[in-house]
């Protein structure tokens, strides 16, 4: 890997392409601007923060001071931005409207942002993946859905994982019958108190999953049930216990995150929902207007609608002509896998990491943010901000700054060395998630807010 390859010479005249205009993508733009590196941000949606807006109704559990990138804040402050209260807890919609939109409109970024620009493929100009000679000197070529091609000196892929949720199937495959019942299955974080209220009011909803997205949905459904008679809730988890979903509760350094677990614990204790453990979905079957979930052993759950809160996974399909060396388990870089593997790590934080851990055999290509973590349920927004700060410094040739990677993240209050509890610690790893532990393992993982 050529992790010390800055964008110099002829390539320096070409922009760094940032894929995705979410929190981490726009943070990358801010850091590249500060480093004097030309860039272009490509966003598939018609607004910045398109994926964040999909969970606009959800309140995050980290206060504003953790949700705003340092370089982005400097740009905004210089423009006279009225910052939100650092101690306030925003919703996804507020992050998009009060932070990402003003950032995207700044003169430093607006002319270098393209909306409705979906990347379909990346390669090296005039060379496929097999060619080695002179490869690192060739610019990247990025092909868009409309056929447009753009050349670039480097690529920072901050496209995330929101568009590629994990299936319901307990083995990581779609459950039998799952595609045919897709209209009865919501993915993470439906707006059950707003836009999706009619689909759940007076109905029986089965929520599958044990991360933060499942907890948010269960708490919202409980509020709905208190005002809409006939609303029933079943919570199905694949493990033998729901303990992992409760997190640190009162011991959490982020009170809102602790309250999420405490509130969920209370719903179980008071019987406001029915908890079913050890339930791995194998088959999905339509039953009239309803839906039935079936385990490999024949256990069944029948309801009106299912919320699949089983997490997300990365899609590296656009980079098949690049030389990527991905960990066979998590789908992240091998160097990063050793730091975040939920099968190995329990106590302690994920070590700060930057351009070296995220480097690929393809020089100057980086996947960052949620996508960088593959299937590990440990990603935190503040971690993504530090990733792109390090990478921007490396691309500018300032390797002293690039290698000085630091993070200060609050604890969850959950710590255990047992195999059963490993996933608990990692799913709520110390950190500030304005969003986001949205990536997740097939066994449930963590989610956001």
**Interval 167-183: pLDDT, tens:** 999 999 999 999 999 99
Residue 447: inside a domain: no
User: Residue 427's pLDDT band (boundaries 50, 70, 90)?
Assistant: very low
Q: Which of 339, 374, 369, 347 is nearest to 445 (CA)?
A: 374
Domain check: are 415 and 295 in the same one?
no
Please give the model's pTM, rounded to 2 decimal places: 0.87
The pLDDT of residue 297 is above 60: yes
The pLDDT of residue 409 is above 80: no
Q: Mark which of 255, 274, 308 sits at the end of a domain.
A: 308
Give residue 98's Cα distance to chain centre: 20
Q: What is the pLDDT of residues 324-336, one digit of tens each?
A: 999 999 999 999 9
Task: Report the pLDDT value the prediction gives residue 162, as an integer from 0 to 100.
Answer: 94
Q: Mark which of 276, 291, 308 sits at the end of a domain.
A: 308
The pLDDT of residue 196 is above 80: yes
Residue 434: inside a domain: no
The pLDDT of residue 431 is above 70: no
Task: Report the pLDDT value the prediction gives residue 241, as an integer from 0 to 100.
Answer: 77
Domain check: are 13 and 159 in the same one?
yes
Domain check: are 292 and 215 in the same one?
yes
Q: What is the mean pLDDT of residues 97-101?
A: 98
Domain check: are 60 and 156 in the same one?
yes
Residue 152: inside a domain: yes
Q: Which two tokens stand for residue 383?
A: 């971690």
Residues 6+ apart with CB under 8 A from 224: 192, 193, 197, 200, 201, 231
Residue 445: inside a domain: no
Query: Are the C-beta atoms of residues 203 and 232 closer than 8 Å to each other?
Result: yes
Distance from C-alpha of 417 to C-alpha of 145, rounded to nearest angstrom: 47
Residue 1: inside a domain: no
User: Residue 60's pLDDT band (boundaries 50, 70, 90)?
Assistant: confident
Task: Report the pLDDT value the prediction gives residue 446, as an integer from 0 to 100.
Answer: 30
Domain check: are 16 and 157 in the same one?
yes
Q: What is the mean pLDDT of residues 394-418?
A: 72
Domain check: are 74 and 195 in the same one?
no
Distance from C-alpha of 178 to C-alpha of 198, rounded to nearest angstrom: 22
Distance from C-alpha of 301 to C-alpha of 287, rounded to nearest angstrom: 11
CATH number of the structural domain spanning residue 66: 3.50.50.60
Phi, psi of 300 (to 5 degrees): -130, 150
The strand pair at 140-144 and 149-152 is best described as: antiparallel
Q: What is the mean pLDDT of residues 3-11?
A: 48
Residues 6+ apart with CB under 8 A from 14: 7, 38, 139, 151, 152, 153
Distance from C-alpha of 437 to C-alpha of 431, rounded to nearest angstrom: 9
Domain check: are 15 and 144 in the same one?
yes
Domain check: are 217 and 332 in the same one?
no
More confident residue, 63 or 130: 130
Q: Which two tokens stand for residue 253?
A: 């350094």
Task: Report the pLDDT value the prediction gives residue 249, as an integer from 0 to 100.
Answer: 46
Distance from C-alpha of 74 to C-alpha of 110, rounded to nearest angstrom: 16
Task: Report the pLDDT value the prediction gives residue 377, as an integer from 0 to 100.
Answer: 78
The pLDDT of residue 433 is above 80: no
The pLDDT of residue 6 is above 70: no
Q: What is the mean pLDDT of residues 332-346?
A: 81
The pLDDT of residue 257 is above 90: no
Task: Report the pLDDT value the prediction gives residue 310, as an integer from 0 to 100.
Answer: 94
Domain check: are 359 and 405 in the same one?
yes
Task: Report the pLDDT value the prediction gives residue 410, as an integer from 0 to 100.
Answer: 55
Query: Are the C-beta atoms of residues 54 and 165 closer than 8 Å to each other?
Result: no
Q: Which two tokens stand for residue 65?
A: 């001071």
The pLDDT of residue 343 is above 90: no
Mean pLDDT lowest among 8-12, 180-184, 387-391: 8-12
Domain check: are 284 and 316 in the same one?
no
Q: What is the mean pLDDT of residues 100-123?
A: 98
Distance from C-alpha of 103 to C-alpha of 30, rounded to nearest angstrom: 9
Domain check: are 152 and 227 in the same one?
no
Give residue 208's Cα distance to chain centre: 18
Q: Which of 438, 360, 435 is nearest to 164 (CA)?
A: 438
Residue 437: inside a domain: no
Number of domains in the chain: 2
Residue 191: inside a domain: yes
The pLDDT of residue 424 is above 60: no
Distance from C-alpha of 125 to C-alpha of 138, rounded to nearest angstrom: 6
Residue with tokens 């969970």: 55
Q: Which of 167, 173, 199, 178 is nearest to 293 (CA)?
A: 178
Q: Which of 382, 393, 329, 312 is nearest to 355 (CA)?
A: 393
Residue 327: domain span = 9-163+312-427
Q: What is the mean pLDDT of residues 392-416?
A: 78
The pLDDT of residue 432 is above 80: no
Q: Mark which of 292, 308, 324 sits at the end of a domain.
A: 308
Domain check: are 14 and 155 in the same one?
yes
Residue 449: inside a domain: no
Mean pLDDT of the chain: 86
């Amino acid at each position: 890997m050529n992790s010390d390859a800055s964008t110099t010479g002829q390539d320096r005249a070409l922009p760094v392409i940032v894929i995705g205009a979410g929190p981490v993508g726009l943070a990358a733009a801010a850091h590249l601007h500060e480093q004097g590196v030309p860039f272009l941000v490509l966003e598939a949606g018609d607004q910045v923060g398109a994926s964040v807006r999909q969970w606009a109704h959800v309140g995050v559990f980290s206060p504003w001071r953790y949700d705003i990138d340092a370089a982005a804040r400097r740009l905004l402050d210089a423009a006279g931005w009225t910052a939100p209260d650092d101690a306030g807890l925003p919703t996804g919609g507020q992050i998009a409207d009060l932070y990402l939109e003003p950032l995207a409109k700044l003169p430093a970024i607006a002319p270098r942002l393209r909306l409705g620009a979906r990347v379909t493929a990346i390669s090296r100009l005039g060379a496929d993946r097999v060619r080695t000679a002179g490869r690192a000197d060739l610019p990247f070529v990025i092909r868009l859905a409309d056929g447009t091609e753009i050349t670039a000196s480097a690529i920072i892929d901050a496209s995330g994982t929101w568009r590629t949720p994990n299936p319901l199937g307990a083995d990581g495959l779609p459950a039998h019958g799952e595609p045919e019942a897709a209209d009865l299955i919501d993915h993470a974080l439906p707006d059950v108190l707003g836009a999706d209220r009619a689909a759940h009011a007076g109905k029986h909803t089965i929520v599958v999953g044990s991360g933060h997205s499942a907890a948010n949905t269960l708490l919202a459904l409980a509020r709905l049930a208190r005002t809409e008679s006939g609303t029933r809730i079943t919570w199905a988890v694949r493990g033998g216990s729901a303990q992992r979903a409760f997190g640190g509760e009162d011991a959490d350094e982020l009170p809102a995150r602790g309250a999420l677990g405490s509130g969920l614990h209370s719903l179980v204790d008071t019987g406001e929902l029915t908890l079913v453990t050890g339930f791995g979905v194998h088959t999905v079957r339509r039953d009239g207007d309803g839906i039935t979930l079936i385990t490999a052993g024949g256990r069944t759950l029948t309801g009106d609608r299912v919320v699949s809160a089983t997490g997300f996974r990365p899609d590296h399909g656009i980079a098949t002509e690049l030389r990527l060396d991905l960990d066979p388990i998590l789908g992240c870089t091998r160097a990063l896998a050793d730091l975040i593997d939920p099968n190995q790590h329990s106590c302690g934080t994920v070590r700060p990491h930057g351009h070296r851990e995220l480097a690929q055999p393809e020089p100057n290509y980086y996947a960052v943010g949620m996508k960088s973590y593959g299937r590990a349920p440990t990603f935190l927004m503040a971690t993504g901000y530090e990733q792109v700060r390090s990478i921007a410094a490396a691309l500018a040739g300032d390797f002293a700054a690039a290698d000085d990677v630091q993070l200060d993240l609050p604890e969850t209050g959950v710590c255990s060395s047992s195999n059963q509890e490993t996933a608990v610690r990692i799913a709520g790893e110390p950190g500030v998630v304005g969003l986001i532990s949205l990536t997740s393992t097939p066994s449930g993982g963590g989610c956001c807010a």
